[in-house]
Structure 1
Amino acid sequence: MNDQQQNPRTQSLSEAGVSIWLDDLSRQAMTSGDLAELIATRNVVGVTTNPSIFQSAIAGVSVYDEDIARLAGEGKDVEAVVEAVTTDDVRSACDLLQELYESTDGYDGRVSIGVAPRLAHETEATIEQAERLHGIVGRENVMIKIPATEAGLPAITATLAKGISVNVTLIFSVARYLEVIEAYLSGLEQAAENGHDLSRIHSVASFFVSRVDTEIDKRLEDLGGEAAVMRGSAGVANAQAAFGEYLEAFGSERFAALKAKGANVQRPLWASTGVKNPEYPDTLYVDSLVADPCVNTMPGTTLDAVADHSEPGAPLSAESAESAEQVLERIADAGVDLADVFALLEREGVDKFEKSWEELLSTVSATIDDTRG
């Protein structure tokens, strides 16, 4: 995009097939040029958002106050105000990444915004809001985030069938990932029937990593003995096993038929890649998950660490996936109920986003009260 030189470590990841998307967005980052700098020097080619990110961006700063006051003065309620300011930021980020979007034929240059967390168990309401958000942002390079809950799966299919690109979020288990792939392929098939250009539809499947280790590590510690030695292995193994399923699904005859119509693969995306245990290398969930193709969404601290001292491992393959499955089997044999872990993490993931959403509404409501007072 310009003459600035990319960091050699992030450039190496990019050349290995890893698309780096920043797991953060704020108006300050855009107006200050910080986001543009990361695009120019750290190989950042996309942005993801969530309620926690928006809450952090808006709380305690004044840059949003004028817009919030204006929108409230127009009679908008707090939810409408939040929708307006967050979609404005996403639209601005989309414009910033438009050149990348065009130069990669829609592969990158993407910005994700999610449906309200309270809709995680409401299929029809999710479909309706996904289409609404897509229309409000009004940029082809926006991706609508829909959680991979049981209610979210048919919403993913229906949204794709409308020709809207989707970021499937909150995936924790390989079993649920297989359902996400099915939702994607079905959505593409319906989109083709509906007359949409499949080449314009993109999707990523966001597989959460560090949260898996956090929960499973606790259970391994409780079991003690040899089980405790396996701490820190589950998150990476779970994602590596998922990549094996990706290779199989997108090497299938079913996808080949869609590809012939212009369809794109649904790239695996490694989310929650900030290391939560200080005993582990701070680039663990980047260096261990190099794959072609994949997306890695990194918070700023992880991106800094990667740019400073990342040492990528061997690229993922069918063989590494098989080894990863054996790691998961050993963890299960040690006494960890993996199905229970993944169900818990999904519930907690939805709950955390709901809590952040409520905090965001409270923050904006307080700002409205202050401007009126």
Structure 2
Amino acid sequence: MTTPTQQLSDAGVSIWLDDLSRGRLETGTLRKLIEEKNVVGVTTNPSIFHAAITSGTDYDHIIAAKAAEGASVEDTIFEITTTDVADACDLFAPVAAATRGIDGRVSIEVDPRLAWDTAGTIAEAKHLYQRVNKANVHIKIPATVEGLEAITATLAEGISVNVTLIFSLERYRAVINAFQAGLEQAKENGHDLSKIHSVASFFVSRVDTEIDKRLDKIGTEEAKALKGKAGVANARLAYQVYEELFATERWGLLADAGALPQRPLWASTGVKDPAYPDTLYVTELVAPGVVNTMPEKTLDATFDHGVVTGDTVSGTYEEANATLDALEKLGVSYNDVVALLETEGLDKFVASWKELLADVEGALASARKAS
């Protein structure tokens, strides 16, 4: 009997873990997830690194060594995060080799404080790529308006990109345009397009969290009936956009030159409302050629009792549109929700990064005193 995670893989879904730490690498727990639960990649973000570095003693020796060198807090964090990602890239190298680089990817994000700085993001993306120095790394760039140009410029350099914090269908279209423009420039620059990989991280659960709050305020039976439906509907319509924009003549020319499509990645797939099934954002978003990046709790739930019934996205677009239309009729503004979620998402990552800077600065100071 195959496991639900194997069934997901068989249905064309790549399972990536939304977490990374030195402890996972050194204890072999990450390797075990590869071997037992079909994990074929990893994503990180500022919140994940903050939790990893500040919860325990795994990084104390690195911080002590950096303190002895007189390193700055920024240099210390850069060293820690890029080392973890490089080591994870090595762990996933066999997966990358077996899938021709499609999976076996490990993502690292540019400093979130650069999200509104196009030139700064491009420079940081190149710096991270050079430091990690692994073919299977993905550089994460937020899908802000300022980030779109940075996405194109980074891909044009032959660097693989994970575009993060996508909430709206309109912005997703702009992301795909930025991706295809980047590949067109990469082709002109002489890069092998078959070696450039990208995913577009479309956030799911946060959409329900915000919209459900608004539906609770409305309080009618009609409003309550729509709770927990917007996140899946929005993601399913994103897959429709993916199908549409990767079936154009423009894309055909790039594909003929060896390019691979930018895969949709379902992010924020941990269920926030305990009233909903804990595998909701996994089993309802099964489609060929997608990635689902899961926190370990969601991965464990899926492995234990996820019911995978094949493709649950194709053919659902009319129903998904009807859900979003019904929300608008109740006065829940889609455009307002997605704009708010982008702002909040960036604010959370910036806050996590600032907390990390403060905590590591404190640890460096303590290490200097101890020596």
Instruction: Report the TM-score, using the length of structure 1 for normalisation.
Output: 0.97
What is the CA–CA distance in structure 2 between the aligned matches of 1:269 and 1:321, rounded to whole Å?
18
- AA at the equivalent of 1:143: H
Amino acid at match of 1:270: W
Q: Distance in 1 between matches of 2:296 and 2:226?
A: 28
SS of equivalent to 1:275 = coil
* Structure 2 residue aligned with 1:52: 47
In structure 2, the partner of 1:62 is 57
Give the conservation status (yes or no) of the 8 Å contact 1:169–1:207. yes
Q: Deviations over 1:332-371 (max 9, x none)?
A: 1111011000000000000000011011112211211121
Gaps of 5+ in 2: none
Alignment partner, residue 3 of structure 1: none
- C-alpha distance 317-273 of structure 1, shift in aligned 2 (>3 A): closer
Contact 1:124 1:155 in 2 (8 A): yes
* CA distance in 2 between partners of 1:357 and 1:312 (Å): 37
1:273-309 deviation per Cα after TM superposition (whole angstroms, max 9, x unaligned)? 0000000000000000001010000001000000000
For 2:196 and 2:328, how far apart are their aligned partners in 1? 38
- Residue of structure 1 aligned with 2:97, choices 97, 102, 108: 102
Given that 1:171 and 1:177 are in contact with CA atoms closer than 8 Å, whether structure 2 keeps it comes out as: yes
Question: Is the CA contact (8 Å cut-off) linking 1:157 and 1:183 kept in structure 2?
Answer: yes
1:213 aligned partner: 208
Deviation at 1:319, TM superposition (A): 2.2
Moved more, 235-244 or 326-335: 326-335
2:338 is the counterpart of 1:369: no
C-alpha displacement at 1:92, in angstroms? 0.3
Counterparts in 2 of 1:26 and 1:297: CA distance versus 1, 3 Å = same
* Aligned amino acid, residue 32 of structure 2: E
In 2: Cα distance, 1:203 partner to 1:315 partner: 22
Mapped to 2, the partners of 1:305 and 1:316 lie a distance apart of: 18
TM-score by length of structure 2 reads: 0.97
Pick aligned residue for 2:306 from 307, 310, 317: 310
Other structure's SS at 2:315 match: helix
1:20 to 15, 21, 33: 15
Contact 1:288 1:313 in 2 (8 A): no
- Corresponding residue number in structure 1 for 2:352: 356
Pick from 147, 153, 166: which aligns with 2:148? Answer: 153
Measured in 1, the distance between the counterparts of 2:195 and 2:160 equals 8
Return the letter of the residue paired with 2:154. Answer: T
User: 2-side partners of 1:270 and 1:347: how far apart?
Assistant: 19
1:138 aligns with 2:133: yes
Higher deviation after alignment, 203-212 or 58-67 = 58-67
SS in 2 for 1:121: coil
Cα deviation, 1:185-210, whole Å, max 9, x if unaligned, reads: 10010100110000000000000000
Residue of structure 1 aligned with 2:244, choices 235, 244, 248: 248
Equivalent residue pairs, number: 368
1:176 equivalenced with 2:174 (yes/no):
no
Whether 1:188 aligns to 2:183 is yes
Q: Does residue 227 of structure 2 align to residue 231 of structure 1?
A: yes
Deviation at 1:166, TM superposition (A): 0.3
Tell me how far apart the structure 2 counterparts of residues 343 and 148 of structure 1 sit (CA, whole Å).
12
Segment drifting more, 355-364 vs 134-143:
355-364
- Picking from 266, 278, 297, the partner of 1:270 is 266
SS at 2:145 equivalent: coil
Native 8 Å contact 1:172 1:207 kept in 2: yes
Q: Partner of 1:36 in structure 2?
A: 31
Give the C-alpha shift of residue 75 in structure 1.
2.3
Q: CA deviation at 1:48?
A: 0.4
Deviations 1:96-145 (A, max 9, x none): 00011011000000000000010000000000000100000000100000
Paired position in structure 2 for 1:285: 281
Counterparts of 2:180 and 2:363 in 1: how far apart (Å)? 44
Asked whether the 8 Å contact 1:274–1:299 carries over to 2, the reply is yes
Name the counterpart of 2:81. 86
Give unpaired runs (5+ residues) of structure 1.
1-5
